[in-house]
Structure 1
């Protein structure tokens, strides 16, 4: 076949390969020695590759030959705990943290605790941004407009869903769930698959073509129960999430949910097993590529981590509801204790926001297989009490629970017979710190709580006090060493 008759896609791939080969023949930049480059390529990096981009990507500007403007693709991480992934074509915003340069470069989580705690503090009150190295499409303005439309439609559709059912109890229950747009998928790499680490535009082109060939499993019902999958991100130039295995479970409510497992780093025996239940406005991808991530948790505490997406979140099927939420956490807890045969006395439960309601409900029914302890981060007393606080009511927390209220942790906490650690930010306006104090007051087996000054609802994990308090809780008060 002559060159003039080649498929445009084939030309694009060949040009990308050619550009990649030319770059690889060039000398190594001054800020990266050849020895260090080889060691990075041969050994496992200490941080997930989806959080590592080369310094060269910071300097890269996509200059369109036939365009009057220069553009840089900025990957914006925003939303719950600054993790929701949005892709926009613009420069880094003023006051934002450059993830490439300031946050994850040369990560020393295992070797330098102070450096890691400084890293998460740096993301406490700022938006995270990354430079994307995807080629700028010709119709990028149309693509951006269509992406914004999809985001708006997703929110409008959920608002209509919340308000469409007349009974107040259904509206209250549905208002507790705000699943974000799915940004990930599970996949099994083909035999000839080649792992690509994206650092520049040429590698981004190769990654785009590789992802087109993958069989993406975007719904849990298409996955096989009992099999492990790799975790991929939807953005064209995003690397696969390493050190994570995805799998699917079926709940007693007949829903299939997506779950992940993060093993203890460097082959160490895990000190304990952590079951993490995330907040209502995030999914698994947010807690695998954000800062801190579940991978950071596993490395800092030298533990193994399990987490899951609620019904209706991410790739999990079904519709989010209180009943489904409780069956979701029951399914993964049984998977850990029965199938994986993990000793319950080595399990610690961590519930964040609405995840604390699921955690407490699980403990009410696990009298024979009690875990070692439970951590509640920013726990709400109940949904109606949270809504009442948003409407300016101040004396509603101590009142008797209404019959239509949902997720009433305040009425269940006294049944828990294992150590309970309550963590809450003093600057939390979504779920005020009074909720955490009331729960701590009514708990029977509580330990000394942690009221974090200056921490809000969605950045309490970015405080060094929280990480140190959790470690002391596990090592000293639970004696898991």
Structure 2
């Protein structure tokens, strides 16, 4: 027994001596270089390193530092749920992240309450999309150039409005504010594989793929009758799915860009919807915003046609009243004549200035009348809207001036099909009095919908509007 105890005591002493020698040897070892100590300290602080990245710690450290100093974000601004402006900026915590909350796990086809909650969430908040492109060293210079481009476009627009002496032309041009083009049409080359961008490597692949594409940035370069895919100009932006692009030539010799969204799941559409957008947005806004035209097709189980006015997006020509009327007529004839869509299953939806184009089309369309018309936030005329902005009162009931344009109030009594008027009570751009006056002048009107707490820009983000339109189509 005594021998075994002595052996255990010797083993403990040997272990202690080995530890002390090891500690002494570590203390006496020469200090590591300063760069190595910095790398080790950063690696200790980073807890989410994967195995492949540990082998190349310099790359991971640089990535961590850049992500802390600057995050690349694509901010959707302008229209509260519409205008797409790709700009590098710090993400806003109060904004809604499209990638994380709206696009991923979309249950629009299965859960109506979830979809209503989605659009209501974007009612009073701006949208943002996080960009995963590698940040260039001169990103501040690129941001400054992007800001100068926007300023130069506004200056050109103001000069374009003021350079024409006749007041009627100035009034007409003041109604159009085309945004910067952010999209293009393209034909996928043989062997093209769609890429879903989730991280920086995917963004690099998407950027290289977009360089190989033959982009059609002008509608006149499109072949008549051909179908194209819809792509976004930003390097890491995904292609817009479920959308077919095509071009139509108008009687004014302008070629305009159009899109067709078929009914989801391959079902036969319940009806066909022709959508005319407002004056401050284009097709890219209504295909990437919330809600989008794809949401229209999903929710109502219909097919959707839409188009860009002359001077908007990839459409040729100059934005004017005559070109606007020629644009919608060309698309309407394409749908009813070339695509053989029954006009009795066709519904027209005009938003803001799009309602003026819709009413003008129906004035002269006596043979192929559609089933119904929906007007969202419709203005009575341009001068009446300007009069409200400058503070004039009781100008709605006065006779129309000879210089006025887009005079819907004097045309709506000629329409003999059901008209649903939807207007927001908090609309300060086009007050609700415009909708009430149009409702009084309409002959075949239905019960209108006055939406509380809805402005001119976010009226489509109200669940009351979606349910009212569905009820109107069923009736």
Q: TM-score, normalised by structure 1?
A: 0.85
Partner SS, residue 85 of structure 2: strand
Alignment of 1:89-168 (within 5 A): 89-168=88-167
CA contact (8 A) 2:220 2:316 kept: yes
Confirm or deny that 1:259 pairs with 2:258: yes
Query: For the residues of structure 2 that align with 1:130 and 1:158, how far apart are their CA atoms?
Result: 28
Partner of 1:475: 474
The Cα of 1:193 is off from its aligned counterpart by 1.2
The Cα of 1:66 is off from its aligned counterpart by 8.1
Partner of 1:452: 451
Query: For the residues of structure 2 that align with 1:95 and 1:133, how far apart are their CA atoms?
Result: 20
The Cα of 1:221 is off from its aligned counterpart by 1.1
Query: For the residues of structure 1 that align with 2:67 and 2:342, how far apart are their CA atoms?
Result: 63
Query: For the residues of structure 2 that align with 1:315 and 1:341, how far apart are their CA atoms?
Result: 26
Partner of 2:179: 180
Compared CA separation, residues 24 and 185, structure 1 to 2 (3 A):
farther
CA contact (8 A) 2:80 2:125 kept: no
The Cα of 1:81 is off from its aligned counterpart by 4.2
Confirm or deny that 1:339 pairs with 2:333: no
Query: For the residues of structure 2 that align with 1:81 and 1:440, how far apart are their CA atoms?
Result: 27
CA contact (8 A) 1:62 1:72 kept: no
Query: For the residues of structure 1 that align with 2:353 and 2:124, how far apart are their CA atoms?
Result: 22
CA contact (8 A) 1:347 1:373 kept: yes
CA contact (8 A) 2:423 2:435 kept: yes
Alignment of 1:390-469 (within 5 A): 390-469=389-468
CA contact (8 A) 1:416 1:443 kept: yes
Compared CA separation, residues 68 and 431, structure 1 to 2 (3 A):
closer
Partner SS, residue 375 of structure 1: strand
CA contact (8 A) 2:382 2:405 kept: yes
CA contact (8 A) 2:133 2:200 kept: yes
Partner of 2:197: 198
CA contact (8 A) 1:71 1:89 kept: no
CA contact (8 A) 1:187 1:217 kept: yes
Give the gaps of 5 or more residues in structure 2. 1-48, 54-59
Partner of 2:214: 215
Partner of 2:290: 291
Q: Rg: which structure is higher? A: 2
Compared CA separation, residues 164 and 109, structure 1 to 2 (3 A):
same
CA contact (8 A) 1:75 1:132 kept: yes
Q: TM-score, normalised by structure 2?
A: 0.86
Confirm or deny that 1:370 pairs with 2:360: no
The Cα of 1:455 is off from its aligned counterpart by 0.4
Compared CA separation, residues 400 and 62, structure 1 to 2 (3 A):
farther
Give the gaps of 5 or more residues in structure 1. 1-21, 27-60, 477-481
The Cα of 1:67 is off from its aligned counterpart by 6.3
Partner of 1:231: 230
Query: For the residues of structure 1 that align with 2:266 and 2:64, how far apart are their CA atoms?
Result: 50
The Cα of 1:245 is off from its aligned counterpart by 0.3
Query: For the residues of structure 1 that align with 2:225 and 2:86, how far apart are their CA atoms?
Result: 33
